[in-house]
A and B are shown apart, each in its own frame.
Chain A
């Protein structure tokens, strides 16, 4: 494929100073209101290397990826390809430059066959007016898929493929565009162990052909198994770039964590939890939740941690009845409960969803209307809506939650993220909920508002409510929770009591079991 392939292969594991980088990011910054997503990040990618990028949520990994394929435009800094400064303003620019992205969201057209998908927009056209040269297209698709070890017929429509196969087709698509830089965003997150092995084989082959791979990951094991170099990002900054032989999983975890919670720590933990308010036994759901049992007691903040994609949101959606439950027993406030949102709300269960805009708020409506949306039955038991009652209830909540809005009628769309989140929480206070599920309550919220939301959560449990909290920010879990469950692949894989709660312990449970022992670290450099 590339004449430089064999020469580079030898140099792949340890790119020497003699070799020029294929792609360079020089002090790239990207600022969003309230957050610095990327802060002068520099990165050099050499041909034929697998460059692992590690970091917690919000460390800047996805922003980095988006800058590379033109979805974001960097505020500062520059990108160089083979030493020349390039401008990536759109996905087509990236494609032209030979940079391809395999994101977690697939870009295949479900009812087009694999060959059509691979060559979409670039199908080879024959002599007859615009007629696709099917023979050539399928032959080339076959070659690409064969090279990737996918035996599926090129006539198969994309929707019939499993996730792993779709991913290979995405890779084939990238290769058909002669991509020299492949950015992969957690490609193994949805794959089985066997499929991961296959994927790694593909990656190594690409590597031997001189393709540079930027591999974004959470999993410690594969970092050492696959990586030629490792870059750790934290809070939008590059913390370190090192060789696998220079480090250990424990060191990497330390580098990834290394940040403090800006909000105050919880002062008083729950000594004696009260009655079990929510109890789940053997819950299974269509969304991938498998045999989950947990209990949340009055006065407790219980964490639910795990990596992105470990099934935490799915679990709480199943508990709330938002997704279909296929088995298991649930009890709410001591009585049997069949998951269904209307029932959950009536009984006093609250869900502060991960995606405020899509699932939590009526964006085009005012603050007051949002605040009373879940409490309509409680405020107006006879069915008559009284504007005065609604307004008083809303004003009380606005005052209690310190929501910064000029008036209760202000459209929530115009509020800041922190205030929007307070509206969602306020909605449940209005509904007189007593058991709260928070799914990433501090996502996209500035530091000050975070502290306020933590204070609110504390007030809730002090008043005898129970809280189940999902957070990808490990320091939050450690600082706030009385104990925490840890999930992986739709199951609960461990529970950490208050005195065991540490970021390192959570990460060890949340990653593959072997990751904690560093056994892969030792021979990682021999891989090839």
Chain B
């Protein structure tokens, strides 16, 4: 635990250093508006990354979260336009996300397909359905009641930030302070030992992939409400930042180590970097490349740390 706290403090220090750097290089950075903007963007990344964190804690992966965001958002938009009912649209979006996650888990648990293959296949299936659903159109203009969850303010703070903090609290509570949450760590550390300790591994995997899918669905709704328009490809750029946020946050791709506090900071770090580039008028075209470099750097660190730890234990 103390090691993890140190790592967390190091990351917070990194965030502060990054902020300092940005504040020096751009006068626009340290404005309330921009800081709220950063947090609002980070909240979107966090919502996706939070569910993904649980999955990665079990030594799994969900590559379909970006596509899931796209389909959930588009389906929500279609339902909203067709029925006019916000409630129905939200339920449709969320359950769409959850069903995608559930399908992932069934392929992984029942067919024993490796998670990265199953969820990668799902990525393209979901993408295909989304494009078919939208058939090249854009759906725009949603009622203010719906838009509130993405672009509304409460007490001067954007609503998505409340969502981020709320789900961070809930997620951290689940991961750290419930039996099921603790079991996820055990599964990630050693699935065989976990099973032989009486932990129902399959049931827990189904749970986390479904939750991960639902969280991606929620992110889709928030994103839709903020953009106020739905297009088939809106989820595409979401996967890399989300994976990067989880790994930068210190959750190990090999499972069993990490948590949501790290992911929260990871989401902020990734967003700060992208925001800083924005402030310095760097073209958005640079974003995928920078995100990938962050991702590869985080995986490299994770791998080296793990190898070092294994070497020390021998």
Chain A residues within CB distance 8 Å of chain B: 320, 322, 341-342, 344-346, 351, 353, 358-366, 369, 373-374, 376-377, 380, 383-387, 409, 413-414, 427, 431
Closest CB in chain B relative to A512 CB, distance in Å: 33
Chain B residues lying within 8 Å of A341, measured Cβ to Cβ, are 195-198
B186 touches A373 (CB 8 A): yes
B186 touches A345 (CB 8 A): no
B196 touches A351 (CB 8 A): yes
Chain B residues lying within 8 Å of A376, measured Cβ to Cβ, are 179, 182-183, 199
Task: Mark contacts of B196-231 with chain A using CB atoms, 8 A cut-off: 1 yes-contact digit, 0 otherwise.
Answer: 111110000000000000000000000000000000
Interchain Cβ contacts under 8 Å between A and B, 12 examples? A341-B196, A359-B190, A362-B186, A362-B190, A364-B189, A365-B185, A369-B186, A376-B183, A385-B177, A385-B178, A385-B179, A431-B197
A527 to B44, CA, bound (A): 80
A369 to B184, CA, bound (A): 12
A359 touches B196 (CB 8 A): yes
Q: Report if B313 contacts A (CB, 8 A).
A: yes
Q: Report if B169 contacts A (CB, 8 A).
A: no
Which of A358, A383, A387, A431 is in CB contact (< 8 Å) with B198?
A: A431
Chain B residues lying within 8 Å of A353, measured Cβ to Cβ, are 196
B1 touches A373 (CB 8 A): no
Closest B residue by C-beta to A322: B196
B313 touches A413 (CB 8 A): yes
B256 touches A364 (CB 8 A): yes
A341 to B187, CA, bound (A): 14
Chain B residues lying within 8 Å of A387, measured Cβ to Cβ, are 177
B199 touches A384 (CB 8 A): no
Q: Report if B181 contacts A (CB, 8 A).
A: yes
Closest A residue by C-beta to B182: A385
Chain B residues lying within 8 Å of A374, measured Cβ to Cβ, are 197-198
Chain A residues lying within 8 Å of B176, measured Cβ to Cβ, are 385
Chain B residues lying within 8 Å of A322, measured Cβ to Cβ, are 195-196
Chain B residues lying within 8 Å of A385, measured Cβ to Cβ, are 176-179, 181-182
A364 touches B186 (CB 8 A): no
Closest CB in chain A relative to B304 CB, distance in Å: 15
Chain A residues lying within 8 Å of B182, measured Cβ to Cβ, are 369, 376, 385
A358-B192, A383-B179 given; 7 more Cβ-contact pairs under 8 Å: A360-B193, A360-B196, A362-B190, A369-B185, A373-B194, A385-B181, A414-B313
Chain A residues lying within 8 Å of B186, measured Cβ to Cβ, are 362, 365, 369, 373
Closest CB in chain B relative to A440 CB, distance in Å: 15
A470 to B179, CA, bound (A): 32
Q: Report if B180 contacts A (CB, 8 A).
A: yes
Chain A residues lying within 8 Å of B200, measured Cβ to Cβ, are 342
Chain B residues lying within 8 Å of A358, measured Cβ to Cβ, are 190, 192-193
A387 to B181, CA, bound (A): 13
Closest CB in chain A relative to B174 CB, distance in Å: 10
A377 touches B256 (CB 8 A): no
Chain A residues lying within 8 Å of B190, measured Cβ to Cβ, are 358-359, 361-363
Closest CB in chain B relative to A357 CB, distance in Å: 9
Closest A residue by C-beta to B192: A359
Closest A residue by C-beta to B175: A385
The A-contacting residues of B in range 215-272, CB under 8 angstroms, are 256-257
Also in contact, A362 and B196, with CB within 8 A (given A380-B179, A414-B313): no
A346 touches B193 (CB 8 A): no
Q: Report if B33 contacts A (CB, 8 A).
A: no
Chain B residues lying within 8 Å of A373, measured Cβ to Cβ, are 186, 193-194, 197, 199
A383 to B180, CA, bound (A): 7
Chain B residues lying within 8 Å of A364, measured Cβ to Cβ, are 189, 256-257, 309
Chain B residues lying within 8 Å of A345, measured Cβ to Cβ, are 197-198
Chain B residues lying within 8 Å of A386, measured Cβ to Cβ, are 177
A366 to B4, CA, bound (A): 12
A346 to B198, CA, bound (A): 7
Chain B residues lying within 8 Å of A377, measured Cβ to Cβ, are 179, 198
Chain B residues lying within 8 Å of A359, measured Cβ to Cβ, are 190, 192-193, 196
Closest A residue by C-beta to B256: A364
Closest CB in chain A relative to B5 CB, distance in Å: 11
A383 touches B256 (CB 8 A): no
Which of A363, A409, A431 is in CB contact (< 8 Å) with B189?
A: A363
Chain B residues lying within 8 Å of A346, measured Cβ to Cβ, are 198
Chain A residues lying within 8 Å of B31, measured Cβ to Cβ, are none
Q: Which of B182, B185, B186, B197 has the most CB of A within 10 A?
A: B197
Closest CB in chain B relative to A413 CB, distance in Å: 4
Chain B residues lying within 8 Å of A369, measured Cβ to Cβ, are 182, 185-186
A358 to B176, CA, bound (A): 25
Q: Which of A341, A385, A409, A414 has the most CB of B within 10 A?
A: A385
A342 to B202, CA, bound (A): 11
A358 to B191, CA, bound (A): 9
A215 to B313, CA, bound (A): 34
Closest CB in chain A relative to B108 CB, distance in Å: 19
Closest CB in chain B relative to A333 CB, distance in Å: 16
B198 touches A409 (CB 8 A): no
Chain A residues lying within 8 Å of B2, measured Cβ to Cβ, are 409
A186 to B211, CA, bound (A): 50
A353 to B197, CA, bound (A): 11
A431 to B180, CA, bound (A): 16
Chain B residues lying within 8 Å of A413, measured Cβ to Cβ, are 309, 313
Closest A residue by C-beta to B2: A409
Chain A residues lying within 8 Å of B177, measured Cβ to Cβ, are 384-387
B196 touches A383 (CB 8 A): no
Chain A residues lying within 8 Å of B193, measured Cβ to Cβ, are 358-362, 373
A385 to B257, CA, bound (A): 18
Q: Which of B1, B185, B193 has the most CB of A within 10 A?
A: B193
Which of A342, A351, A362, A409 is in CB contact (< 8 Å) with B256?
A: A362
A354 to B313, CA, bound (A): 20
A346 to B199, CA, bound (A): 10
A346 to B183, CA, bound (A): 15
B179 touches A384 (CB 8 A): yes
A365 touches B256 (CB 8 A): yes
Q: Which of A320, A373, A409 has the most CB of B within 10 A?
A: A373
